[in-house]
Amino acid sequence: MNVTVIGTGYVGLVTGACLAQIGHQVICVDNNRDKVAALQAGKIPIYEPGLESIVFRHSYRPIDPKADHEAASTPPGFIQFTTDLNRGIEFGDIIFITVGTPALPSGDPNLQYVEAVARGIGQGLIRTQTRSRYRVIVNKSTVPIGSGDWVRMMILDGAAQAAKEELWVGSSVLAGSHSNPRRFDLQSVLPHFDVVSNPEFLREGSAIWDTFHPDRIVIGSDSPTAIAIMRQLYEPIINHSWDPEATPEAQPPVPFLVTDLASAEMVKYAANAFLATKISFINEVATICERVGADVTEVARGIGLDSRIGPKFLNAGIGWGGSCFPKDVSALVRTGADYHCATPILEAVIETNRQQRLRIVEKLQQELKVLKGKTIGLLGLTFKPNTDDMRDAPSLTVIEQLLKLGAKVKAYDPMIQSNQGSLAGVQLESDALSLAQGCDALVLVTEWPEFASVDFDRLAAGMRRALIVDGRNFFSPQQMRQAGFTYLGMGR
Ligand SMILES: NC(=O)C1=CN([C@@H]2O[C@H](COP(=O)(O)OP(=O)(O)OC[C@H]3O[C@@H](n4cnc5c(N)ncnc54)[C@H](O)[C@@H]3O)[C@@H](O)[C@H]2O)C=CC1
Ligand SMILES: O=C(O)[C@H]1O[C@H](OP(=O)(O)OP(=O)(O)OC[C@H]2O[C@@H](n3ccc(=O)[nH]c3=O)[C@H](O)[C@@H]2O)[C@H](O)[C@@H](O)[C@@H]1O
């Protein structure tokens, strides 16, 4: 199928690449020229394991007549990149919106990018020569409940504006209406389309796996035609037919859940809010564990074995961050407020998380007393391992607080090579051992696998004081103590 993906970030690029991998023809549109130029040159602007090889395999390359046909032919599914929105609109029977919806200071999501794209789609539907084709406009960006209808309205607005402009310049779009330029029938010039919601549940760092092995695919729509097209699009994933090694008996079909638009949008927010709640819950339990002498990792194992609770998302630590949990939980609180619903649980989830980040600094103060003039080394900066994403990373709160208290902050993260913006004032090191040199304490912020195989004896030996705060309960306390560290975990 011909698919256009507008917004080539973490979600858009992964979606486009995976759809190409299962045999669809994909055009990815982005208004960031540098990003598109890089992608056209085969450079992936983000770090996501497995993504580069899929994009490379399916990148559209013109057929070289001199090369042998087998090697030169484009694979059945392909992916192309462009800044030309109209080209994307002309191409796609299914058009995904995957632009960002970052939080505004109020906690509401910023919908300006979705609005710009929706209006652009409306204009493009008028301006491109494809007016008789039906389209499915798929909103994959996380947007507040009710946005599906609003997106439809923005598309119609964009279309109306373009139709008027076309009319004034006397384009063929409205040929025959020139005698009465103030009146025209938008429906007669606009192709039929439906807006569906298709929330995304991928996690950064395992985005490719998550896309091919989703727990469910959710489609919010009341259009049988659009639902059937979406089912066809995802069929290879639903039935695992993209994977030659999959045995249908071993893998039941992926649940394909059809809801109304508002419910699909709510599923996305409720899922993220629930996961964040689980983490804040275990972090609160962790604090109590510390006071009573229990070990939260054992407690999490004990409760996680109850199938009604489940073992996932019960890792206590420095708290949740990233581009989505913080903004999505806040957005749900804002929606509650807009509709006069109290949200005390969600507000407590946010507050617990805020305090959790600061508990790292409190632990340092407890051991080192005054932090002014002390050197603190951060192991890891990104909001989780296997990503380069620094959006709302817990490390940023810790850095801000340490700098405020007069500490010197050093850091090493395998993905972060240069100081930018919010990392001002942080000295970046090139590995864990050089980070530890002269530090009064180390803080494990991100559980990068490579930290498990560091030489802990050498790590401790290079420090002014061998203190480690393990913000992810990643290390074995015994092993760290054997290496000479004073070890502080989170709730153990
Ligand atoms: N990052 C994640 O793991 C997940 C994100 N989401 C949601 O998906 C949406 C996208 O998130 P990300 O991919 O992280 O965002 P991102 O910030 O990585 O990418 C957004 C892209 O859209 C482009 N863009 C902005 N305005 C545009 C326009 N007018 N025309 C064309 N391109 C435009 C930007 O240049 C950027 O490349 C958000 O609503 C987010 O909440 C949902 C699930 C997972
Ligand atoms: O909407 C989104 O963007 C995505 O948000 C999360 O995915 P992501 O933010 O990539 O990462 P997670 O693995 O969920 O981790 C989020 C944060 O929670 C923290 N976390 C996670 C699990 C846990 O047990 N403890 C814990 O502190 C992580 O360190 C990280 O800071 C959800 O898991 C995805 O389903 C969703 O699509």
Is the separation of the CB atoms in 311 and 304 below 8 Å?
yes
CA distance 99 to 117: 8
User: What ligand is nearest to the CA atom of residue 119?
Assistant: 1
User: What ligand is nearest to the CA atom of residue 39?
Assistant: 1
Q: Is the CB of 325 under 6 A from ligand 2?
A: yes
Helices (H) and strands (E) in the chain, counts: 18, 14
Q: Which atom of ligand 1 is nearest to the CA of 116?
A: 29
CA distance 18 to 140: 15
CA distance 347 to 340: 15
CA distance 243 to 477: 41
The amino acid at residue 477 is P
Eight-class DSSP state of 132: T
Q: Ligand 1 pocket check: which of 85, 275, 323 to mutate, most ligand atoms within 8 Å of Cβ?
A: 323
Transcribe 432-480 into DSSP letters: HHHHHTT-SEEEE-S--GGGGGS-HHHHHHTSSS-EEEETTS-S-HHHH
How much is the CA Rg of the chain, to the nearest whole Å?
A: 26
Q: Is the CB of 258 under 6 A from ligand 1?
A: no
pLDDT at 72: 47
CA–centroid distance, residue 9 to ligand 1 (Å): 5
Q: Which residues of 92-117 are buried (b: 16+ CB within 10 A; e: fewer)?
A: bbbbbbbbbbebeeebbbebebbbbb
pLDDT at 65: 54
Torsion of CA 146, 216, 109, 401, to 10 degrees: 150
Q: Is the CB of 30 under 6 A from ligand 1?
A: yes
Q: Ligand 2 pocket check: which of 384, 386, 396, 398 to mutate, most ligand atoms within 8 Å of Cβ?
A: 384
CA–centroid distance, residue 325 to ligand 2 (Å): 7
The amino acid at residue 280 is S
At how many degrees (to 10) do helices 112-127 and 147-168 cross? 40
**Domain ranges in the chain with CATH number 3.40.50.720:** 2-259, 271-488
Class of CATH domain 2-259: alpha beta
Q: Which of 28, 289, 324, 439 is catalytic?
A: 324
User: What ligand is nearest to the CA atom of residue 383?
Assistant: 2
CA distance 258 to 106: 32
Transcribe 217-261 into DSSP letters: EEEE-S-HHHHHHHHHHHHHHHTTTT-TT--TTTSPPPPEEEE-H
Strand order in the sheet with 375-379: 426-428, 408-412, 375-379, 441-444, 467-470, 486-488
Is 439 one of the catalytic residues? no
Q: Has the ipTM of the complex gone over 0.95?
A: yes
Q: In the structure encoding, which two tokens stand for residue 231, read together?
A: 């089912």
Is the separation of the CB atoms in 251 and 240 below 8 Å?
yes
Evaluated on CA atoms 240, 244, 248, 252, the torsion sign reads negative
pLDDT at 173: 47
Q: Which residue has the tokens 């913080």?
A: 326
Q: In the structure encoding, which two tokens stand for residue 300, read together?
A: 């999490």
Report the DSSP pairing between strands 94-97 and 193-197: unpaired
CA atoms within 13 A on the CB side of 261: 20
Q: In the structure encoding, which two tokens stand for residue 463, read together?
A: 């420090």
User: What ligand is nearest to the CA atom of residue 147?
Assistant: 1
Q: Which atom of ligand 2 is nearest to the CA of 142?
A: 1
Tens place of pLDDT for every residue, the chain, 492 residues? 999 999 999 999 999 999 999 999 999 999 999 999 999 999 999 999 999 999 999 997 655 556 554 544 556 799 999 999 999 999 999 999 999 999 999 999 999 999 999 999 999 999 886 777 999 999 999 999 999 999 999 999 999 999 888 766 654 545 445 555 555 677 777 889 999 999 999 999 999 999 999 999 999 999 999 999 999 999 999 999 988 888 767 789 999 999 999 999 999 999 999 999 999 999 999 999 999 999 999 999 999 999 999 999 999 999 999 999 999 999 999 999 999 999 999 999 999 999 999 999 999 999 999 999 999 999 999 999 999 999 999 999 999 999 999 999 999 999 998 776 779 999 999 999 999 999 999 999 999 999 999 999 999 999 999 999 999 999 999 999 999 999 999 999
Q: From the centroid of its chain, how far is CA 488?
A: 31
If one counts every other C-beta atom within 10 angstroms of the C-beta of residue 428, the result is 16
CA–centroid distance, residue 367 to ligand 2 (Å): 30
pLDDT at 187: 76
Q: Is the CB of 201 under 6 A from ligand 2?
A: yes
Evaluated on CA atoms 345, 350, 351, 357, the torsion sign reads positive
Q: Ligand 2 pocket check: which of 324, 327, 447, 472 to mutate, most ligand atoms within 8 Å of Cβ?
A: 324
Class of CATH domain 271-488: alpha beta
Pick the closest to residue 75 from 226, 242, 255 (CA basis).
242
CA–centroid distance, residue 472 to ligand 2 (Å): 14
pLDDT at 75: 61
CA distance 62 to 20: 16
pLDDT at 251: 86
Q: In the structure encoding, which two tokens stand for residue 176, read together?
A: 């025959």
CA distance 148 to 265: 8
Pick the closest to residue 386 from 237, 156, 206 (CA basis).
206
Q: Which atom of ligand 1 is nearest to the CA of 35?
A: 37
Q: In the structure encoding, which two tokens stand for residue 102, read together?
A: 């970052």
